[in-house]
């Protein structure tokens, strides 16, 4: 019976891995199918669409490559390291110990983690190539390859203490071991690959998250690097799924036969 249960669990896990592999394959196909255009070509398409159907109706899946520039209001500042940038994200994770009772009623000390603060900026910025520039709205994007200027663990000092982010303070109790601080930024001047949807729904041309299903990627890595990473993930995931599914099937058959 145990072998049957293990086999069924392996088949379920293998199916989950296979589902993730399928998603990776779909992302690769979308990256390969979507055309990389210049910003001037994108503006020409938007203007043609506005003349034909009126403004506010243009939607076009596209890719552009250019340099990140501050929007009209200037650079924003990251919340932890206070770095001038066009985009930032942070996460603070509390590491703590607590006692729990196991199935036999015995008290056991466990180390656990909880995210006490996280934030990513949504402020628009420009991306500029040799032909012009366009507004990019990063909300909802999968930001890849951002630099990580902060990645440290701060030990709890004494029984009291905590961590502050701006006006907010997150305390730690007697079980707190410490806090892990992480921050990512995109600085002005970094070259970006943008895979998303261009539209003029707000009255001007901008790139953002697709209104319907689709990937939205803001990447400091090139398209070639992204495809290389995705292909590697596809190969590893496909191999894992095959091995797990085969092993699960063998265990299930043996559990039934024996």
31 inside domain: no
Give the integer Cα–Cα distance in Å for 50 and 58.
Answer: 7
Q: What is the mean pLDDT of residues 238-256?
A: 82
Give the integer Cα–Cα distance in Å for 135 and 128.
Answer: 9
Higher-scoring residue by pLDDT: 152, 252: 152
Has this prediction a pTM greater than 0.85?
no
Q: Which of 81-90, 114-123, 132-141, 224-233 has the lowest mean pLDDT?
A: 224-233
C-alpha atoms less than 13 angstroms from C-alpha of 162 in its C-beta half-sphere: 10
Q: What is the pLDDT of residue 24?
A: 81
Evaluate whether 136 touches 206 at the Cβ level (below 8 Å). Answer: yes
Segments forming the whole domain that contains residue 84:
36-225
Give the integer Cα–Cα distance in Å for 92 and 83.
Answer: 17
In this model, does residue 13 exceed pLDDT 90?
Answer: no
Q: Which of 16-20, 160-164, 202-206 has the highest mean pLDDT?
A: 202-206
189 inside domain: yes
Average pLDDT, the chain: 89
Give the integer Cα–Cα distance in Å for 201 and 198.
Answer: 9
CA angle 110, 111, 114 (to 5 degrees): 125
217 inside domain: yes
241 inside domain: no
75 inside domain: yes
234 inside domain: no
138 inside domain: yes
How many independent structural domains does the chain possess?
Answer: 1
DSSP code of 36? B
- pLDDT range class, residue 166, cuts 50, 70, 90: low
Give the integer Cα–Cα distance in Å for 192 and 253.
Answer: 51
135 inside domain: yes
Task: Indicate the SS3 state at residue 159.
Answer: coil
Q: What is the pLDDT of residue 10?
A: 82
In this model, does residue 32 exceed pLDDT 70?
Answer: yes
- pLDDT range class, residue 4, cuts 50, 70, 90: confident
């Amino acid at each position: 019976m145990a072998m049957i249960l293990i086999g069924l669990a392996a088949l379920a896990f293998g199916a989950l891995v296979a589902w993730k592999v399928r998603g990776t394959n779909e992302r690769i196909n979308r990256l390969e199918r979507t055309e990389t255009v210049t910003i001037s070509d994108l503006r020409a398409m938007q203007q043609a669409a506005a003349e034909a159907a009126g403004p506010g109706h243009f939607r076009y899946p596209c890719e552009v490559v250019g340099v990140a520039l501050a929007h009209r209001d200037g650079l924003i500042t990251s919340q932890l390291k206070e770095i001038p940038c066009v985009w930032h994200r942070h996460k603070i994770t509390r590491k703590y110990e607590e006692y729990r009772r196991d199935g036999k009623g015995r008290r056991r000390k466990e180390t656990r983690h909880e995210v006490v603060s996280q934030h990513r900026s949504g402020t628009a910025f420009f991306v500029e190539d040799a032909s012009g520039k366009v507004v990019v709205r990063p909300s909802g994007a999968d930001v890849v390859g951002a630099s990580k200027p902060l990645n440290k663990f701060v030990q709890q000092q004494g029984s009291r203490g905590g961590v502050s982010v701006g006006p907010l303070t997150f305390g730690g109790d007697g079980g707190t071991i410490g806090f892990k601080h992480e921050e990512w930024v995109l600085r002005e001047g970094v070259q970006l690959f943008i895979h998303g949807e261009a539209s003029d729904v707000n009255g001007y041309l901008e790139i953002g998250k697709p209104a319907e299903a689709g990937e939205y990627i803001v990447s400091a890595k090139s398209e070639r690097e992204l495809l290389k990473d995705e292909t590697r993930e596809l190969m590893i995931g496909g191999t894992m799924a095959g091995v797990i599914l085969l092993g699960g099937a063998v265990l299930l058959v043996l559990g039934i036969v024996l």
